[in-house]
Structure 1
Amino acid sequence: MTILIAVLAILFIVLTFMVVSKTQSILKGLSKSDVEESEYLGAPDRYNSANGVGLFAFWLISIVGIVWSFIAYKKDFLPEASSIHGKETDYWFWVSMVVIMIGFFIVNTFLFLFSFLYRHNKNRKVTFYTHNNNLEIIWTTIPAIVMAGLVFSGLRVWTKITSEAPANAEQIDIMGKQFGWTVRYAGVDDNQFGKYNYKLMDDAGGNPMGVDFSDPNSFDDFANASEMHIPKGKPVLLKIRARDVLHSVFIPHMRVKMDAVPGMPTKFWFVADKSTEDMRAELGKPDFNYEIACTEICGRSHFGMKLLLVVDEPADYEKWKKSQKPLLTENPDLLSKVPDNLKAKAQKYTSTEPVAAEVAPEVVASSVLGNSSKVLK
């Protein structure tokens, strides 16, 4: 690296001296009042023909390089999308790429070809051509129609994936914070999310997502900060939010990307049609895993803000949900956040044992006396 920097520095110095020298010669030429046509600054010199040939040769070499790089690195492209809308997104992406590349090759071919064909020739006379209205209309109308077609086709796909999710969609609450993701699911008992409030967010108290435990629907909600599970073949609605700064939910294999904005909930719904096991078999990689990454630079540890994504078969997904413990079970101290009139309902989630029945006073007295006698002994 040091050698490369030194070489570039030397090259820069040499080119600087060449530019200064050329500038001085131009200034000297401009100071002469009797400059002949052959010495005119804009007159062609002995390098004119070589420049024309060199530019066209550069373009031919560039075409070879472009085609080679596409073929050589195609293996590193993302595999076929693992979601239904992702396949449609990919289709229109490649349509756009083909249209743009056709225009790119046509325009640049003529650009470099003209520099070669119309290089200076003292036996050829220049024709002054002002404009052509028909030509202006053609090269304005055609690109406008093509670009409008691409824009509206993309807008149609975008409108579809940002529309209201189907009624049977699996809803998942995902929140980004520096520097990780936390996921919350509606409990299996009521399948409804409890409310949340940013004022209730408390990492130390075991409530990083600000779940409002005055809402009975939150009692069976459960969360996970290490992985997110979704079912295969069923609509999934991501309810996205951020706790501190701007983040962005990105699932590359699903072609899912949506910003997580503080104070402004966003959403994205999709249908995954390849489970994690399906992708492992398709790619021949038994250790393959989907991931959720943050694609909005959010701070010093942005690079490590990832979350494991597991796509389960529907039956496995339901089994996994039933195996998860509610927030109240994971952290019984949260029971203090439950209003007194709802504590009886919430207590069944705070312990694995049933709530003790009311005990007769004489039994309590007997137990106390028994324990006291043991202590005296």
Structure 2
Amino acid sequence: MTTTGLFLLAILALGFLITFQIAKASEYVSVLKGEKKSFEQNNRINGFLMVVFLVLGLVGVYFCNEALYPKTLMVHPSASDHGENIDTMLKITLLITGIVFFITQILLFWFAYKYQYNDKRRAFYYPHNNKLEVLWTTVPAITLCLLVGFGLYYWFKITGEAPENSMRIEITGRQFNWIYRYPGKDNTFGKKYFRMIDDENGNMLGMLWKDSTMKTPNGVQSLKADPTGYDDIIETTAMYLVKDKPVKLIINSRDVIHDVGLPHFRMKMDAVPGTPTTMWFTPKYTTEEMKKITNNPNFEYEISCDQMCGNSHYSMKGLIKVVTEQEYKFWLAQQKPSYKPAEAAPAASPAPVADTAKTAAAGTPNTVLAAK
């Protein structure tokens, strides 16, 4: 065990010993003063401490909010149109639950102080009231149904059909990075098959770039090449998006369940092996504009994996570059399709030395000597 572990263990043991000694001392005091008098004194102390805890708790909530709120994403605007709706829904939820929290906690601690034990006070039992039961059951139920309803409405918008002019980008998770695929000039993604994945030869997604035959549990399977995939662009460095242009993400996984987390866009979606998922949004600010908004010259849009996916889950981070239409076209013009056709057949090799010698033997003696 490390020194830190021993130190923490010693602190816990000391705390337990102190608590035990205080309990024993309290017991001895009760015996000396009398049970009733000690009970009344402890009751007053506990009632006073309830008020103290209430005040300190509210002060702590205030200072925690002041210290931690600037470090949250809520300080800066959402970078997508759907994200604005998510922010609004989150603020409404926090407002409603915050009001309920403060009212219930203040009443809880204040009642514990105000209605502490007193010989002159008689307990009043109020076991049942139909109107109150209906009130505190239906009001929270209706409120929660409204919040869930708005959540489902925005969820169906995010996962529904994207506009016809949307960009389409496929993002695939693998332990422990992201693979991005863009359709080529034909604007069509080529077919792929997971058994064709071959990282060593650059086929990270199992693209059907050539005719293949493979053995499967059900027998021999023949796969035909799909020419629509010849112009697809596959990248692993960053995903490029265009400001004010809708983008539909087609999300896959090569191995385990991942999760495409887009914190600055307020969106996320699971990446499930064998089950493609989708979502779409419209970026509002370029990366350069967001650097000015956040006052951070090193700002970058990030893709996080929001699902525990293995030992190096913490390092599964991707980058997004939001650029203008012109910048995107310039970047796209520099990209080359990932498909690399077979090299041309090599040139004919020179004639063997033995044939040259035979040819030379048919010549003059000098030629024969030169050949030798």
Partner residue in 1 for 2:121: 124
Kindly report which structure 2 residues correspond to 1:165-314, keeping only aligned pairs within 5 A, or say none: 165-187=162-184, 189-213=185-209, 214-314=225-325
SS in 2 for 1:47: helix
Residue by residue over 1:206-239, the C-alpha shift from the partner in whole angstroms, topping out at 9 and shown as x without a partner, is 1011112211110100111111111111111111
Matched, 1:327 2:338: yes
Change (3 A) 1:13 1:242: farther
Amino acid at match of 1:281: K
Matched, 1:98 2:95: yes
User: What percentage of residue pairs aligned between the two structures are identical?
Assistant: 38
Distance in 2 between residues matched to 1:17 and 1:260, nearest whole Å: 55
Amino acid at match of 1:305: M
Partner residue in 2 for 1:10: 14
Distance in 2 between residues matched to 1:16 and 1:205, nearest whole Å: 68
Note the C-alpha offset of 1:6: 2.6
Partner residue in 2 for 1:115: 112
Deviates more, 1:126-135 or 1:74-83: 126-135
Unaligned runs of 5+ in 2: 210-224, 360-370
Distance in 1 between residues matched to 2:201 and 2:119, nearest whole Å: 86
Distance in 2 between residues matched to 1:165 and 1:229, nearest whole Å: 18
Partner residue in 2 for 1:35: none
Normalising by structure 2, report the TM-score: 0.81
Distance in 2 between residues matched to 1:88 and 1:222, nearest whole Å: 33
Residue by residue over 1:63-99, the C-alpha shift from the partner in whole angstroms, topping out at 9 and shown as x without a partner, is 1110111122221111211000001101110110010
Note the C-alpha offset of 1:8: 2.8
Distance in 1 between residues matched to 2:77 and 2:305, nearest whole Å: 21
Partner residue in 1 for 2:221: none
Query: For the Cα contact (< 8 Å) 1:44–1:120, is it kept in 2?
Result: no
Amino acid at match of 2:67: A
Normalising by structure 1, report the TM-score: 0.80
Note the C-alpha offset of 1:14: 3.4
Distance in 2 between residues matched to 1:224 and 1:12, nearest whole Å: 57
Residue by residue over 1:243-285, the C-alpha shift from the partner in whole angstroms, topping out at 9 and shown as x without a partner, is 1111111111011211111111111111101010110122222
Q: How many residues align?
A: 330
Partner residue in 2 for 1:343: none
SS in 1 for 2:336: coil
Distance in 2 between residues matched to 1:129 and 1:297, nearest whole Å: 49
Distance in 2 between residues matched to 1:16 and 1:53, nearest whole Å: 23
Residue by residue over 1:288-323, the C-alpha shift from the partner in whole angstroms, topping out at 9 and shown as x without a partner, is 111111111111111111112100101211221121
Matched, 1:316 2:327: yes
Note the C-alpha offset of 1:143: 1.1
Partner residue in 2 for 1:61: 56
Residue by residue over 1:114-158, the C-alpha shift from the partner in whole angstroms, topping out at 9 and shown as x without a partner, is 101100111112222222111111111211121111111111111
Amino acid at match of 2:204: P
Partner residue in 1 for 2:220: none
Note the C-alpha offset of 1:18: 6.1
Query: For the Cα contact (< 8 Å) 1:229–1:309, is it kept in 2?
Result: yes
Amino acid at match of 1:220: D
Amino acid at match of 1:72: A
Unaligned runs of 5+ in 1: 30-37, 337-349
RMSD: 3.0
Amino acid at match of 2:203: N
Distance in 1 between residues matched to 2:58 and 2:119, nearest whole Å: 31
Partner residue in 2 for 1:346: none
SS in 1 for 2:98: helix
